[in-house]
């Protein structure tokens, strides 16, 4: 898929570049051509002036070449004059014998063209200007036409060289753009590809995680349906399992939704002045109860009056995730220590335990989605490997930092630093 996108990107890029290049080069070529030809045209007009002004016999058209004075300046230029009668008959050419009969007829075809034009005759380029033949008093319209013709092979050659240079430049430019486009598109697609892969993995993992509780619920429901005569009390086991799995699924779906919304920046913090001291106060009873149930010792060291601008619900969720992990991964007899204090411009919150700790090869991955250090234990404890991803997002959303120090067998400490 990315190969196709890359190719399409490069093609679109190249096409746009090609269009721009053609446009610029077209203007460049057109302008240069226009400049060169207008200089020639100017000289043609200049060469035509004596004829226009009527260096011809007064009142009538002469066929005598001698009456057409060649201006000394024009005489030096390779200009040829074809003098046509009003009926379109070639009267003579000057210098005579410059063009053959067939060449002359090529010019004759465009005798009525008003503006200067370029004619290709026998492989040579000529610039031609038709000048109406007038007597000096302008008494007789359409007395004939003089074609002022100049060979512009040299100019055409220069223009064709320019054209080749432009074509070569465009070709070379296109190759460069394609090469650069391939390289840049490849580089630009790296983060997109990574994010796509991450997303794909996320969806695959999520589906996998959802399948397990769903399968259990389905199995238990089928069991119940096999004995419709039994009471709920008799089937309390199956009903309980269905309830537990549904709760697990609900928790998982909530976590997935949180992360999905966080990814698409749809989750915004509801920022308020939050008293962390009060927040811990409200949670401490539950913490003590849970620790007691698991024969764990709890140390709470919460400074009074700690406040910050934050989202209370999210901060509560963060504390619960860290506490829940400490609870899950600390065996009976262990200790959980929670501290929260203000240092300078930031709040330092730490949840430490004397639990199983985290293996060094897992430490770099625990914040990844669905990553579980000890797979068997995590499944047992009901964790899907999303808790720390959410915790990290909450801390980052508060412009803070979440770090972990841990060694297997000794315990783990999760430290949160949030600027006030
Ligand atoms: P889970 O739902 O599996 O706990 P988390 O994202 O919260 O998912 O944690 C990811 C992994 O990090 C866990 O599977 C576990 O291996 C490790 N972990 C997290 N907290 C602790 C802790 N306090 N002690 C030991 N390991 C932990």
Integer Cα distance of 110 and 54 in angstroms: 23
**Number of structural domains, the chain?**
3
Distance of CA 334 to the CA centre of its chain: 53
Which protein residues are within 6 Å of ligand 1, measured from CB?
325-326, 328-329, 353, 355-358, 362, 366, 371-374, 378, 383-389, 412
- State the pLDDT confidence band at 67, using cuts at 50, 70 and 90: very low
What is the distance between the alpha carbons of residues 177 and 21, in angstroms, rounded to a whole number?
A: 11
Looking at ligand 1, which atom is closest to the CA of residue 385? 8
Q: Work out which ligand 1 atom sits closest to the CA atom of 384.
A: 2
Question: 32 in a domain, yes or no?
Answer: yes
CATH number of the domain encompassing residue 13: 3.30.450
φ, ψ for residue 310, nearest 5 deg: -165, 180
Distance 316 CA to ligand 1 centre (A): 18
Place of tokens 């419709």: 228
DSSP character at residue 241: H
- Each as own residue / partner, the long-range contacts of residues 65-74 (CB below 8 Å, 24 or more positions apart, any chain) are 65/92, 65/94, 65/96, 68/94, 70/94, 71/47, 73/46, 74/46, 74/47, 74/50
Q: Is the peptide bond before 257 cis (omega within 30 degrees of 0)?
A: no
Atom 2, ligand 1: which residue's CA is nearest?
383
Same domain? For 398 and 279 the reply is yes
- Ligand 1 centroid to residue 228 C-alpha, Å: 41
Q: What is the CA radius of gyration of the chain?
A: 46
Out of 388, 393, 402, 414, mutate this one to test ligand 1's pocket (max ligand atoms within 8 Å of CB): namely: 388
- Domain check: are 35 and 123 in the same one? yes
| Predicted pLDDT of residue 314 | 93
Whether residue 142 is found in the same domain as residue 243: no
| 188 within domain boundaries | no
What average pLDDT does this structure show over 385-390?
A: 92
201 pLDDT above the threshold of 70: yes
- CATH number for the domain harbouring residue 279: 3.30.565.10
Residue 140 has pLDDT above 80, yes or no: no
Q: CATH no. for residue 210?
A: 1.10.287.130
Domain annotation covers residue 204: yes
Query: Are 224 and 307 members of one domain?
Result: no
The residue from 238, 263, 288 where one domain ends is: 263
Q: Is residue 143 located within the same domain as residue 72? A: yes
Q: Is the pLDDT of residue 193 over 90?
A: no
CA of 319 to the centre of ligand 1 (A): 14
Cα–Cα distances in angstroms (integers) from residue 358 to residues 364, 414, 417, in the given order: 10, 11, 21
SS3 270: coil
What whole-number percentage of the chain has pLDDT above 70?
89
Question: Does 218 share its domain with 290?
Answer: no
Domain that holds residue 24: 2-160
Q: Which residue's alpha carbon is nearest to atom 8 within ligand 1?
A: 385
Q: Find which of 129-143, 217-231, 253-267 is predicted with most confidence, using mean pLDDT.
A: 217-231
- Mutation pick for ligand 1 pocket among 337, 363, 383 (CB with most ligand atoms within 8 Å): 383
| Best of 256, 320, 329, 355 for a ligand 1 pocket test (most atoms within 8 Å of beta carbon) | 329
pTM here is 0.64
Would you tell me how many other CB atoms lie within 10 Å of the CB of residue 350?
A: 18
| Percentage above 90 pLDDT, the chain | 50
Same domain, 62 and 126: yes
Domain boundary at 222, 239, 263, which? 263
Q: pLDDT band for position 135 (50/70/90)?
A: low
**pLDDT for position 286:** 94
* Secondary structure percentages of the chain, helix, strand, coil, to 5: 55, 20, 25
* Region class of 369: left (phi > 0), else alpha (psi between -120 and 50), else beta: beta
Burial readout 59-96 (b: 16 or more C-beta within 10 A, e: otherwise): eebeeeeeebebeeebeeeebbbbbbeeeeebbebeee
Residue 383 Cα: closest atom of ligand 1: 2
Ranges of beta strands (E only) in 193-318 are 272-275, 297-302, 307-310
pLDDT at 20 over 60: yes
Predicted confidence (pLDDT) per residue in 219-244, tens digit? 999 999 999 899 989 999 999 999 99
Q: Quote the ligand 1 centre to 329 CA distance (angstroms).
A: 7
Distances, alpha carbon 400 to alpha carbons 141, 337, 347, 353, in Å: 94, 21, 9, 22
Residue 142, pLDDT above cutoff 90: no
């Amino acid at each position: 898929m990315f190969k196709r996108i890359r190719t399409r990107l490069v093609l679109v890029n190249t096409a746009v570049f090609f269009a721009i290049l053609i446009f610029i080069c077209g203007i460049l070529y057109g302008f240069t051509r226009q400049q060169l030809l207008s200089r020639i045209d100017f000289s043609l007009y200049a060469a035509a002036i004596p004829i226009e002004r009527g260096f011809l016999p007064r009142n009538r058209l002469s066929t005598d070449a001698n009456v057409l004075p060649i201006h000394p300046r024009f005489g030096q230029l390779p200009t040829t004059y074809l003098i046509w009668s009003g009926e379109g008959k070639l009267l003579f050419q000057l210098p005579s014998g410059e063009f053959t009969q067939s060449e002359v007829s090529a010019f004759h075809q465009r005798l009525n063209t008003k503006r200067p034009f370029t004619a290709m005759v026998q492989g040579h380029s000529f610039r031609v200007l038709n000048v109406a033949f007038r007597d000096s008093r302008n008494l007789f319209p359409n007395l004939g036409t003089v074609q002022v013709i100049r060979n512009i092979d040299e100019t055409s050659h220069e223009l064709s060289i320019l054209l080749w240079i432009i074509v070569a430049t465009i070709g070379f430019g296109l190759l460069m753009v394609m090469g650069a486009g391939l390289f840049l598109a490849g580089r630009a697609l790296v983060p997109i590809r990574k994010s796509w892969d991450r997303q794909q993995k996320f969806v695959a993992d999520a589906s996998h995680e959802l399948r397990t509780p769903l399968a259990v619920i389905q199995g238990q429901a089928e069991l119940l349906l096999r004995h419709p005569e039994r009471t709920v009390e008799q089937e309390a086991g199956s009903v309980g399992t269905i309830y537990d799995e549904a709760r697990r699924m609900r928790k998982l779906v909530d976590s997935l939704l949180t992360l999905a919304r966080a990814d698409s920046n749809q989750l915004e913090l509801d920022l308020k002045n939050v008293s962390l001291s009060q927040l811990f106060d409200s949670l401490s009873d539950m913490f003590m109860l849970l620790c007691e149930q698991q024969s764990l010792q709890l140390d709470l060291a919460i400074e009074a009056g700690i406040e910050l601008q934050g989202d209370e619900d999210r901060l509560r969720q963060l504390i619960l995730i860290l506490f829940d992990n400490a609870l899950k991964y600390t065996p009976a007899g262990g200790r959980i220590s929670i501290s929260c204090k203000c240092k300078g411009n930031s709040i330092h919150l730490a949840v430490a335990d004397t639990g199983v700790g985290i293996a060094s090869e897992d430490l770099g991955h625990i914040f990844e989605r669905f990553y579980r250090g000890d797979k068997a234990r995590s499944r047992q404890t009901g964790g899907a490997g999303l808790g720390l991803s959410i915790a990290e997002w909450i801390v980052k959303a508060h412009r803070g930092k979440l770090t972990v120090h841990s060694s297997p067998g000794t315990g783990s400490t999760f430290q949160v630093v949030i600027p006030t």
